[in-house]
Amino acid sequence: MRNSILMFVILLGFSISIMGWTWYPQDKPDQPETLPLVPMMQQLLDDIQQVDRGIYTENFAMIEEGAGNISHHPTMTVEDKKLVKKTLGEEMKQFVKFDKVVHHHADSMRMAAVEENMQKVLKHYRITQQGCVDCHSNYRDPISTARIKDN
């Protein structure tokens, strides 16, 4: 009898805690509007890795979230924007083109995940990834060097 009551109390407590989690979901906080360049790039790396995991596990919700985070990532701080513009000069136009490609195709990838269409996800994933690589291969070194000199 005593064990039955103890078991009932334990199950009741467990059930109440589970219901609490169900009624009050733990949402991730919204992304900030701006971030310094390096933390923003680190966040984008985390987001593309989340998309990777979603693709490999065929988890469309994971792909949708990661792609959405990429397409709606925070902008650079005003200071970092000034540094990038000063460093790139006329190349800023191409930098913006790469950024637009990444945003557009990340959002298209997100929509394909909503549709649960893996072929479209993969098509837009490749273009998004190539946009990131194009930007990095052209601008990472000059911007990194300028950041070091600026500090």
Helix axes of 118-150 and 37-57: crossing angle, nearest 10 degrees:
160
Describe the chain by its helix, strand, coil percentages, rounded to 5: 85, 5, 15
Third-level CATH fold of 31-150: Four Helix Bundle (Hemerythrin (Met), subunit A) (1.20.120)
CA 108 to chain CA centroid, Å, is 14
72 vs 17: which has the higher pLDDT: 72
Give yes or no for a contact between 89 and 125, defined as CB atoms under 8 angstroms apart: no
9-64 residue pLDDT tens: 454 444 444 444 433 344 455 667 888 999 999 999 999 999 999 999 999 999 99
Decide if 55 contacts 63 (C-beta within 8 A).
Answer: yes
**pLDDT tens digits, one per residue of 92-108:** 999 999 999 999 999 99
User: Could you tell me if 48 and 70 are in contact, meaning their C-beta atoms sit under 8 angstroms apart?
Assistant: yes
- Can you give the residue ranges of every domain in the chain? 31-150
pTM: 0.76
Which residues, other chains included, contact 97 with Cβ-Cβ below 8 Å and sequence gap of 6+? Answer: none
